[in-house]
Amino acid sequence: MSLNPSPATASGGRRERSERSRWIGAAVSGLLSSVGAVAIALLVGAIVILISGDDPLVAYRALFRGAFGGVRPLSETLVAATPLIFGGLAFSLAFRAGMFNIGVEGQLVLGGLAAGWVGAQAFGLPKLLHLPLALVAAMLVGGLWGAIPGALKARTGAHEVITTIMLNYLAARISAYAVGTNGPLKGEAALPATDPALLSAQLNRLVPGERVNVGLLLGLVCAGLLWYLLFRTTFGYRVRTVGLSRGAAAYAGISWGRTITLAMMGSGLLAGLGGASEVLGLQGRYYDKFSPGYGFTSIAIGLVGRNHPVGVVLAAVLFGALNSGATAMQSAAGTSKELVQILQALVILSVAAFAAVARLQIGQRIMSRRSPGSSGSQGGDRAAAVGMEPDLEARPAPPVV
Amino acid sequence: MTAALANAGSPDTTPRETPPMAVEMHGIVKRFPGVVANDGIDLLVERGEVHALLGENGAGKSTLMNILFGLYHQDEGEVRIAGQPVRFHGPRDAVNAGLGMVHQHFMLIPRFTVTENVILGMEGPGALRLDRQSAERRVAELGEAYGLRVDPRARIADLPVGMQQRVEILRALYQGGRTLILDEPTALLTPQEVEELYLILRRLTDAGGTIIFITHKLREVAAVSDRVTVIRRGKTVGTRQTADTTARELAELMVGREILLRVNRSLARPGEPILIADNLTVQNANGLALDRLSLNVRQGEIVGIAGVEGNGQTELVEALAGLRHPDQGKILLKGKDITGADPHQVRIAGLSYIPEDRHGRGLVLDFSLTENVLLGNADDAPFSRHGRIDYSAAETITRQVMTEFDVRAPSPATPASSLSGGNQQKLVIGRELQREPDFLLAVQPTRGLDVGAVEFVHRQLVAERDQGRCVLLISFDLDEILDLSDRILVMFNGRIAGEYESGRVDRAELGFCMGGRTDEESTLVA
């Protein structure tokens, strides 16, 4: 600011108008930037296709038809999107509290295991009780698995990125043991899996003959609930305050440790439900290693969806479509199977780049407004809001009067 | 490298005419939007002296030094180093011209060793290979020469603060610094470390080095400086030989002598005490931050706490606001014991708190105005019921706050980050006052605001008082304290060092008390 002082004391009326247009601009660009990022990713992808000697137009047309052209493709897109909706929501809830939950994968795996085992038990219960019981089991186990890193951080400051990665390994080992040879939860068949879930515990198919199931609706309901939780309740307000400014949260008497622990618990709960949906709606039983890394893709979903429930659903459908259209693109345009992964990576990079640019602009805006006397702790708080990673060095707020 | 200082101070071989000043700053003007930080400052620093730069917080010392060090560029005026006019484009130019800066908050990398920190940015041309051993040797030599003994291989994180400061000084010397700027170097030191620092500074000047010592403590001026330049409100008010001046004179220069103009303020009619703090003691890492401090604030009065930053104000505020549990003592608000209550409970008991740091504490910049009005209130009626936030009620209140407190923004949905500093502060104040608190804790409420906003805030505080509330004002701006307070308490070293009635205060007396002096007529140099 020292070099080019901004005209911060310009006349009132003009100032307000420019503030307003800038603010509207920010909202619109927030909405459009994810879309724009996807467009750019597809454009770069087209270049990649061209270089590999294929016709991008043909490829993309095939991709689109493979994802949306008919009941079967549409169903497969939504099937692929379902676990990502849950995972993306899970990641977003934690992220809103300033927590980077890499442990969605482990929470999802153990939730699936719990649902699979409960679903396979012949309790003699009607569906109205058995299915909810299995889902609740998944939520409990997933929520517990998520609460652990939250509580560890609240108590000891142990970084959640480290602890959730470790808990992911632990979850994978637990799963391998539980349904492995002589495992306590292993089913009759010679598979690393539980017994099949009883009909009374299965999520119904939505369209006869297609795999898309009630799990999708469950995911959409969760998105609505999460939106309500974040933006309409005092708990959601606490979560967002803690995530954006620890100093302001302390000022308002919001307990940081309690809030991040609960947010991580909610995050694990959603992830666990995602595992249950996959097991009870799609696979019909719990298989070890049933998740091809849904939890990790979910991080990208949260990022691309800007950690907003609506954005998460859209991002999950986009990734689902890319997955389900991949085969069609491969056979029609002769592109390689890996191209879809390249496209997904391009989407992620492109969204990240957009976020980085936005952060730079906001940073400059703040710098240009800082008066010489004002103290400067804004940077870190804003990074969490705009960008990809929360403040990884979340230190206790400095004691400022 | 050891020779750097010797070079500077060795014009002995030639018959000296008038040796050029180490640093000359003439008529420096630096404007920021809404503020003139430096308004024609002159500073002349001779070679080989310790020159103290004395002034209150916000007097313009740091801005001036940032200009000298190339971090800012002056709007008007001239800087000369060793007689040559210079125009720095950044700190690197300043370093090349022989300047070194030791910041108040050290710029060291905790995980690096002493040597690694010292040579940072000066690794030499062979960037691939670091000649660690010879670097360590040179650091040790340099340390030996000036009594800056510190193990070159120790990690910064393992060193006490005083040692870290030595590393900063070593780095400045290593980079060829002949004139060192020390920005409030004693702020974080223990008394023993301060003594050692004085010795080091003496050695440096004996070797021909020059020191500019920024401070607002009279005691330090007396202990270490040869000459002192006093700055007030961006202007140089005088330069004195330390030996020829008195603490009283410096205090007067620092805080001014003019009679106050009291505007729009009737006499206070204080009632019952609302807030009582009794024997508060708070221990922090550096020792006792609050030392059995007692005070009370009565209904219908503004009590101002004057004092130099770092004398326990932070801890007092945190204890009162519920952000810190006092080790001993009691806090009563309207007769209710709120010692150790959390911030929300304290708010419910009747406290409103305008924090100093509106960005880090008072606001969430990415939240809308409405969401910011919810801050601290979200759990209470009428803002929420059964865990559900009533956004339309919150928005209505936000609109009221915007109207009553003149917060200029397009709508309650505007993000707080897009408001100017003055409007942000008005939002914070509006939020805190719409709760109609019994006790208002206002900490630096006008920091960084322009004149118009300052006046607005001041009028609000007086209006609160006139409605029978009680206000505790903590500020490092003495004028603000004098303008607003019905009673003035001076904080020094975690205690109330003096109490003055409004209207019967001599500014110099106050400045004197803030500096921790009680025997007022003694000269500085014993």
pLDDT in tens, B79-105: 999 989 999 988 889 999 999 998 877
> Which residues, 6+ apart, have CB-to-CB distance to A162 below 8 Å?
none
Confidence of residue A18 (pLDDT cuts 50, 70, 90): very low
Contacts of B414 in chain A (CB under 8 A): 19-20, 23
DSSP state at residue A198: P
Confidence of residue A25 (pLDDT cuts 50, 70, 90): low
Whether the Cβ atoms of residue A103 and residue A149 lie closer than 8 Å to each other: yes
Please report the pLDDT score of residue B17 as a whole number.
Answer: 59
Please report the pLDDT score of residue A191 as a whole number.
Answer: 92
Contacts of B317 in chain A (CB under 8 A): 401
**Record: fold of A53-335:** ABC transporter involved in vitamin B12 uptake, BtuC (1.10.3470)
Res. B133: pLDDT tops 70 = yes
Contacting A residues, span 200-239, partner chain B, CB-CB under 8 Å:
232-235, 237-238
Res. A371: pLDDT tops 50 = no
| Sequence-ordered alpha helix ranges (H) in A157-281 | 160-179, 214-232, 234-244, 246-251, 256-278
Please report the pLDDT score of residue A375 as a whole number.
Answer: 36
Query: pLDDT tens, B405-422?
Result: 988 888 899 899 888 888
Using only the alpha carbons of chain B, give its radius of gyration.
Answer: 25
The verdict on a CB contact (< 8 Å) between B371 and A252 is no
**Arithmetic mean of pLDDT, B268-277:** 88
Contacting B residues, span 57-86, partner chain A, CB-CB under 8 Å:
58, 63, 66, 71-73
Q: Does residue B430 sit at the A interface (CB-CB below 8 Å)?
A: no
> Among B31, B353, B4, which residue's Cα sits nearest to residue A8?
B31
Contacts of A240 in chain B (CB under 8 A): 364, 367, 371
Query: What are the φ and ψ backbone dihedral angles of B28, each rounded to 5 degrees?
Result: -75, 125
Whether the Cβ atoms of residue A138 and residue A273 lie closer than 8 Å to each other: yes
> Among A75, A71, A38, which residue's Cα sits nearest to residue A301?
A38
Whether the Cβ atoms of residue A263 and residue A241 lie closer than 8 Å to each other: no
Nearest CA in chain B to A398: B360
Res. B300: pLDDT tops 60 = yes
Asked whether the domain spanning B262-350+437-517 has the same topology as the one spanning B3-255, the reply is yes
Contacting A residues, span 317-376, partner chain B, CB-CB under 8 Å:
362, 365-366, 369, 371-376
Please report the pLDDT score of residue B295 as a whole number.
Answer: 94
Domain positions in chain B: 3-255, 262-350+437-517, 359-436
CA–CA gap between residue B101 and residue A9 (Å, rounded): 33
What whole-number percentage of chain B has pLDDT above 90? 44
CA–CA gap between residue B419 and residue B405 (Å, rounded): 14
Please report the pLDDT score of residue A355 as a whole number.
Answer: 76
Res. A212: pLDDT tops 90 = yes
The verdict on a CB contact (< 8 Å) between B378 and A237 is yes
What CATH class is the domain B3-255? alpha beta
- Residue A181 corresponds to which amino acid? T
Count Cα neighbours of B155 within 13 Å in the Cβ-side half-sphere. Answer: 5
Please report the pLDDT score of residue A386 as a whole number.
Answer: 34
Res. B429: pLDDT tops 90 = yes
**Arithmetic mean of pLDDT, B321-332:** 94
Please report the pLDDT score of residue A121 as a whole number.
Answer: 95
Please provide the average confidence, as pLDDT, over all residues in chain B. 85
Distance spanning both ends of chain B, measured CA to CA: 37
Query: What are the φ and ψ backbone dihedral angles of B235, each rounded to 5 degrees?
Result: -125, 150
ipTM score of the complex? 0.80
Confidence of residue B9 (pLDDT cuts 50, 70, 90): very low
The verdict on a CB contact (< 8 Å) between A382 and B417 is yes
> Among A282, A267, A334, A213, which residue's Cα sits nearest to residue A101?
A267
Res. A369: pLDDT tops 60 = no
Closest-CA distance of chain A to residue B187, Å = 15
The verdict on a CB contact (< 8 Å) between B418 and A12 is no
CA–CA gap between residue A318 and residue A297 (Å, rounded): 12
Long-range contacts of A231-236 (CB under 8 A, 24+ apart): A232/B388, A232/B389, A232/B391, A233/B387, A233/B388, A233/B389, A234/B378, A234/B379, A234/B384, A234/B387, A234/B388, A234/B389, A235/A262, A235/B387, A236/A96
Q: A393 or B439, which is more confident?
A: B439
Q: Does residue A387 sit at the B interface (CB-CB below 8 Å)?
A: no
Whether the Cβ atoms of residue B298 and residue B273 lie closer than 8 Å to each other: yes
Confidence of residue A31 (pLDDT cuts 50, 70, 90): low
**Arithmetic mean of pLDDT, B441-463:** 84
- CA–chain centroid gap for B65, Å, is 15
**Arithmetic mean of pLDDT, B423-434:** 93
The structure tokens listed for A37 are 């990022």
CA–CA gap between residue B371 and residue B500 (Å, rounded): 41
Whether the Cβ atoms of residue B67 and residue B79 lie closer than 8 Å to each other: yes
Please report the pLDDT score of residue A399 as a whole number.
Answer: 36
> Which residues, 6+ apart, have CB-to-CB distance to B325 below 8 Å?
B319, B340
Q: Helix A127-156 and helix A160-179: axis angle, to 10°?
A: 140
DSSP state at residue B416: G
The verdict on a CB contact (< 8 Å) between B361 and A241 is no
Among A86-90, B357-361, B382-386, top mean pLDDT goes to A86-90
Block residue for tokens 């099937």: A79
Res. A241: pLDDT tops 50 = yes
Closest-CA distance of chain A to residue B64, Å = 12
| Of the partner residues A5, A248, A400, the one whose CB lies closest to the CB of residue B356 | A400
**Record: fold of B262-350+437-517:** Rossmann fold (3.40.50)
The verdict on a CB contact (< 8 Å) between B364 and A241 is yes
Query: pLDDT tens, B186-210?
Result: 877 777 788 888 999 999 999 889 9
Q: Does residue B203 sit at the A interface (CB-CB below 8 Å)?
A: no
Its sign, for the CA torsion A156, A158, A164, A168, is negative
Contacts of B344 in chain A (CB under 8 A): 252-254
**Arithmetic mean of pLDDT, B253-276:** 70
Nearest CA in chain B to A20: B410
B501 burial class (0-12, 13-18, 19+ CB within 10 angstroms)?
exposed
- Residue B333 corresponds to which amino acid? L
SS3 A326: helix
**Arithmetic mean of pLDDT, A25-29:** 58
Res. A313: pLDDT tops 90 = yes
Task: Residue count of chain B, please give it.
Answer: 526
Confidence of residue B127 (pLDDT cuts 50, 70, 90): low
